[in-house]
Amino acid sequence: MRPLTNHIPNIIDDIMRDVWVNEDLEAIDTYFHPDARFYGRIRNTALTRSEFRDWVAQFQSMASITGFERVLTVAEDEENFAHVIRADLTSHMNGATGKLMGMFFDKLCDGKVIQSYANADLLTYFETTGFLPDNATLIMLGGTPLS
């Protein structure tokens, strides 16, 4: 791994601030390549940039990210990097708040993200928004079905 160049942390922070905290869906075109593919948001599916925008809108219809911290960023080279984000989440459904963790592997092309692989704690998202019980993780670890 190489030392980080300035553009990698900047693009991560810009995406988090503009797309997620400020909920600017048009900013997706600013930071993501027209041919971008998004993996890991929906099982066994690579989303296009347009589909990703729809996915983000659905996410934001139920909860808002009100702040974030880039916990870790590592770069393989000028185009490939990974990062861990901790985000503050507030539910529109019930006002509950929580912390959402995500790990991302991204590739740049022409200064924009062209590939993004995500592994986010969506269980916490659904617990915070009220679609799963608060202790869903413990229930599932105990082998108890949620139905």
Question: CATH topology for 7-141?
Answer: Nuclear Transport Factor 2; Chain: A, (3.10.450)
Residue-wise pLDDT for 28-78, tens only, equals 999 999 999 999 977 888 999 999 999 999 999 999 999 999 999 998 888
Amino acid at 94: N
3-state secondary structure 22-61: CCCCCHHHHHEEEEEEEEEEECCEEECHHHHHHHHHHHHH
Give the CA distances from residue 147 to residues 17, 42, 133, 139, 140, in Å, rounded to whole numbers and listed in that order.
37, 22, 11, 11, 11
Query: What proportions of the chain, in percent to the nearest 5, are helix, strand and coil?
Result: 35, 40, 25
**In the chain, where are the structural domains located?**
7-141
Q: Could you read off the pLDDT of 76-118 as tens digits, one per residue?
A: 888 999 999 999 999 998 999 999 999 999 999 999 999 999 9
User: pTM score, two decimals?
Assistant: 0.85
